[in-house]
Structure formats: structure tokens, C-alpha cells
Amino acid sequence: MSVESAIPAPPAPGSGPLRTPPLVRGGAPVLGHAWNLVRDPLGFLSALRDHGDLVRIRLGPRTAYVVCDPELVGAMLKNPEYIVGGPLWDTLEVLLGKGVATSNGKLHRRQRRMMQPAFRPERIADYAKVMEEEARATAARWQPGATVDVSAEMFRTAVRIVSRSLLEVDSIRDKADRIAESLHTVFDGLYRRMVLSVGPLHRVPTPANRRFESALADLHALVDEIIAERRAAGPGAPDDLLTELLRATDETGAPITDREIHDNVVSLVVAGAENVASTLAWAFHLLTEHPEQERRLVEEVNAVAPD
């Protein structure tokens, strides 16, 4: 069944009201299913499919709907009326602001148009060179017989790739590692804030909250430094995504605000790091379970990059 065919048709006259998705059992008092998501997120989310294609869970006082069927997920995301929003997305705005990842409608379309030149086919070829360099650098750090945290390594590598590809400032190699370190702490804190609806308790100066606030401030400061460094470069600046954003104008022809530039830089770094890193980490896991596919992959890599 195609993704398009998964989009439900309007209910026929007289067919009755739509059925309410089932509420998953087992939530804790007050916290609901938030504790399950903190304690064992993968196990909990994987088990939800046993309850149906669309289910409800409780995150404290809030009800969240979880789509468990891949085709329904595709149908939802391709629906032109789908809106990015809600309490969970509001939490993400602490990090992403009003960038392309969290905006809707005209604002989202305008931001996408601003960024499209950075993803032309000829640009992708240049990005591939950066990817190869960083992949080789990562492999060179690994020693035979050593234990490697693949998730952390892939995250660091992905941050360096997206930073070097889209933000070509002189200091980006040094800043990329700081960005990765800050993002790792911020992601951990954001996840807990998304699933644990404890409101003001997140502002209590606990060690975890202080680490989160410090990392978030450092990340935003780093992005501002990168933007300032690019502005100072003048006409000789690289023709990359950051330059495209600095050249961009709004509907009136006026330059877009520094806040919008900042939010979109953060959005692109986050999207290019977290999603890529997770995919690569899972790819390594799957390769360990499928040695024949691993062998074929190694052969292909050796054929493409024999040295």
C-alpha cells in the first residue's frame, strides 16, 4: 500500500463517529507514561505497536498520540494540513527557536527557499569530500580490539560534517567539537523536559539543570560567534548556507533578522547531526547482526575508496 493510499478518506455519511485511539495501560501515578519513556524509551515505544496503529499515552497531565504504523506516519507527514506544534514542539523551541524545523506555513516555505541553493547537486559533491575526510578521521581514532561508543562517535562525526559543510568559517574545526559536546548535554535535558511535565522544577538549580542551561547558553553563543565571524569576512566569504542566509531578504526586500539566521543555523546543525548520527549508529548495530551485508559493504567501500 502506498503512502498516499494510507491517507484516510472522509467518513461516509451515517458511518458514525471516529473511534478514539486506545489508551495504553501501565502509566505511573502523576507521571503517566513519562517514567516509561525515561527508564526504557526504546522498549516502551517498540511495545506500543502491540496496542494499535494509533494509541494514546499520558505524559503527566497531557495526552499524547503516538502513530505506530510507518505508512500512517508517512501519510501524516505528507498531509499538507499537518502542523508542527503542540507542547512537545514548544519545548524544542528552547533550542531551535523559530527555524525551519519548527515553523509552519508561509514562514516555513520562505525559510526552505532561502536554504535550497545550499543543497544544489554541485554542492553535494563538495560535501561528500568533507564526509570522506571526517569518516577517515573517525576510523583513524579507533584501535583494533578497543571498545567504542558508536553512538557518541557518530554524533561527533555528524556534527563535524554538517558544521564544516554548511558553516565554512576558519574556526569551525575547533568549534565543531564544542558544538557536539554542548548538543549532547542539551539533547539529554530537552528529552527529559519533553516527557516529564514538571514545569517549574526544571528551573530548580540542580546539577542536571545547571549543566543543561550552561550547555544551551554555550551552544547559542557559539552560533552567534560563527555568524559574527562570517559577517566580518566580507566579500571573500565562502558561498555556503550561512552566506545564503546572510544574503536572504524577507517579502519586503529587507534582510532577515539575526534571530532568524541564528535559529536556522541551529535547526540545520541539529537536524544534520542527530538524525544522521542515529541512523549511522543503528546501521552499525544492524551490520553486526547481518555479516553478509557487512562483507558486501566493506567490499564496496574498498572499491570506492581503496586507500
265 or 84, greater pLDDT: 265
Half-sphere exposure in the Cβ direction for 74 (13 Å, CA): 9
User: pLDDT at position 15, please?
Assistant: 55
**66 bridge partner residues:** 55
User: pLDDT at position 1, please?
Assistant: 26
Read off the pLDDT of residues 15-59 as tens digits, 9 standing for 90 and up. Answer: 556 678 899 988 888 888 988 988 898 899 999 999 999 999 998
User: pLDDT at position 7, please?
Assistant: 42
CB-based contact 159:273 (threshold 8 Å):
yes
User: pLDDT at position 4, please?
Assistant: 34
Domains in the chain, please, with CATH?
4-82 (no CATH), 105-304 (1.10.630.10)
Read off the pLDDT of residues 187-221 as tens digits, 9 standing for 90 and up. Answer: 888 888 877 766 677 778 888 889 989 999 998 99
163: pLDDT strictly greater than 90: no
pTM above 0.85, yes or no: no
Distance CA 3, CA 18 (A): 21
User: pLDDT at position 62, please?
Assistant: 84
User: pLDDT at position 10, please?
Assistant: 54
As a whole number of angstroms, the longest Cα–Cα distance in the chain is 68
121-135: average pLDDT: 84
